[in-house]
Structure 1
Amino acid sequence: MAVTLAEEIALLSLDDESGAAKERSSAGWAVAGGILLELVLAERLTVADGRLTVADATPTGTALLDGRLAKLDEWTRRNGRRKVVDWLTKDQSTAVRATVESLCERGLVTEERHRALGLFPVRRYPEADGSVERELRERLASVVLEGTEPDDRTSGLIALLHAAKLHRLAFPELPRKQVRTRMAEIGEGQWAGDGVREAIRNMQAALAAITAVTAATVVM
């Protein structure tokens, strides 16, 4: 079973040794967006004009995606607005938990629990099997740094990372300005089909809007 876009983003965000989440807020939005884009690629969901439509509620066979698909189907049936931003706001925390649980089930990370200051429960997810993340980082480097033409999934992943300003998660040892232009170019989705390209643009707009509001809230 292939690792999903959401799981790839989560792997990039989790520190390999400590298991702590880096850039937790922005990465969380991107994880939730990754599930939506994966459902678009699976032809279960369409995204146009900032709105979601379930095109096919048939399960994909991937538990992480099917759990969100069932909830999306119910939500879009009873909610006339169906905006991408509304769904991400509603589902972000749940989507992140489900994604990390899926990584645990795959044996890619392990869950560690302890109490901060002896009082507050804390969970960490250090790496258990680094092979998937290594392949992922090699693929990102090949496309972004070496100019290899990406497939739909990789261009979608890079678009989400760029929209959420997660350049440092993908390339922690490089200055953001060195990779930003190439990631923006890939994020335009010129390698993707029309439907996927439209979805990528909508997802980028939603993530950019959310992260901008989040950043402004933190500053205030």
Structure 2
Amino acid sequence: MTTLIAEDLLLLLLDDVKGTPTSSYLDVALGGALLLELALAEAVHVRERTSVWSSAKVDVAPGAVVSDPVLADALGRVAERERAASDLVTRLGKGTRDALTARLAERGVLRREDDRVLGLFPRTRWPEADGRHEDEIRARLTAVLVQGLDPDPRTGALVALLHAVGAAPSAVDRGGVPARDVRRRAKEVAEGTWAAKAVRDAITASTAAMSAVMAATTAAAAAGS
């Protein structure tokens, strides 16, 4: 089954039984995943920062075309006007979860369940219906993060995204390997030289943008408590 990096990430960040997110930063992570996929497809490129105070800007590559409708919508948003990666990961993440969960349910990977919290507030959950694809993803991640194999570009991008949201240890079968070692390996992969420079630039910009959004969200929540 052909999936987007964002779909693979979504499966990893949903509780298989409860069908609810295991990360508070799921939406921004999905936005980062779409941006990275566009970079891997050479549909966008990240311009180098002109100073330590500036943000990395993202441009659409001339003649860029992508066939996947979710990815095409993301490319359209990038093309609207020049934006910083920190702005794009938030914009691209909006609505993506709903689009991808519905699509994965149509493919029989997830199952939609509607209920009410406390009998009052409607809620939609997406528990696992067929775990074979997710098992394959976790096996590839385990080979890289636990066994030390070199990643292919898609797996490397996925590792970088998981590392950015602190979810790398929970995505693999550690087999007794300490979580700190998995986190260290994930950091090595995220910063590694396995990808072309354009993709490395996109990974750096996307994960930095995700971290900035997450930090701002955490600070706002702390200020409001």
TM-score, structure 1 normalization: 0.89
AA matched with 2:60: V
Contact 2:35 2:202 in 1 (8 A): no
Q: Which residue of 1 aligns with 2:131?
A: 130
Given the alignment of the two structures, is residue 209 of structure 1 paired with residue 212 of structure 2, yes or no?
yes
Q: Secondary structure at 2:19's aligned position in 1?
A: coil
Going by fraction, where is helix more abundant, 1 or 2?
1
Q: Distance in 2 between matches of 1:97 and 1:56?
A: 30
Q: Secondary structure at 2:58's aligned position in 1?
A: strand
Change beyond 3 A, Cα 1:47–1:100: farther
Q: 1:62 aligns with which of 59, 63, 68?
A: 68
After TM superposition, give the deviation of residue 58 of structure 1 in Å: 4.5
Q: Distance in 2 between matches of 1:89 and 1:60?
A: 21
Q: Distance in 2 between matches of 1:61 and 1:19?
A: 29
Q: Considering only aligned residues, what root-mean-square deviation do their CA atoms show, in Å?
A: 1.9
Post-superposition Cα deviations, 1:130-188, rounded to whole Å, max 9, x if no partner, equal 11100000000000100111111111111111122222441486653121110000001
Percent identical across equivalent pairs? 38
Q: Distance in 2 between matches of 1:53 and 1:102?
A: 28
Change beyond 3 A, Cα 1:128–1:145: same
Q: Distance in 2 between matches of 1:212 and 1:170?
A: 22
Q: Which residue of 1 aligns with 2:9?
A: 9
- Deviating runs (4+, > 3 A) in structure 1? 56-59, 171-176
Q: Secondary structure at 1:114's aligned position in 2?
A: strand
Q: 1:182 aligns with which of 167, 182, 185?
A: 185
Change beyond 3 A, Cα 1:199–1:59: same
After TM superposition, give the deviation of residue 70 of structure 1 in Å: 2.1
Q: Distance in 1 between matches of 2:122 and 2:41?
A: 37
After TM superposition, give the deviation of residue 37 of structure 1 in Å: 0.5
Q: Which residue of 2 aligns with 1:84?
A: 85
Q: Secondary structure at 2:212's aligned position in 1?
A: helix
Q: Which residue of 1 aligns with 2:53?
A: none
Moved more, 130-139 or 56-65: 56-65
Moved more, 114-123 or 29-38: 114-123
Q: Which residue of 2 aligns with 1:40?
A: 39
Q: Secondary structure at 2:94's aligned position in 1?
A: helix
Change beyond 3 A, Cα 1:122–1:150: same
After TM superposition, give the deviation of residue 17 of structure 1 in Å: 1.4
Q: Distance in 1 between matches of 2:218 and 2:107?
A: 33
After TM superposition, give the deviation of residue 56 of structure 1 in Å: 4.3
AA matched with 1:69: L
Q: Distance in 2 between matches of 1:104 and 1:57?
A: 33
Change beyond 3 A, Cα 1:190–1:93: same
Given the alignment of the two structures, is residue 52 of structure 1 paired with residue 58 of structure 2, yes or no?
yes
AA matched with 1:211: M
TM-score, structure 2 normalization: 0.87
Q: Which residue of 2 aligns with 1:30?
A: 29
Q: Distance in 1 between matches of 2:63 and 2:165?
A: 28
Q: Secondary structure at 1:17's aligned position in 2?
A: coil
Q: Secondary structure at 2:114's aligned position in 1?
A: strand
Change beyond 3 A, Cα 1:51–1:186: same
Contact 1:17 1:127 in 2 (8 A): yes
After TM superposition, give the deviation of residue 22 of structure 1 in Å: 0.9
- Paired residues, what number? 214
Q: Secondary structure at 2:11's aligned position in 1?
A: helix
After TM superposition, give the deviation of residue 39 of structure 1 in Å: 0.8
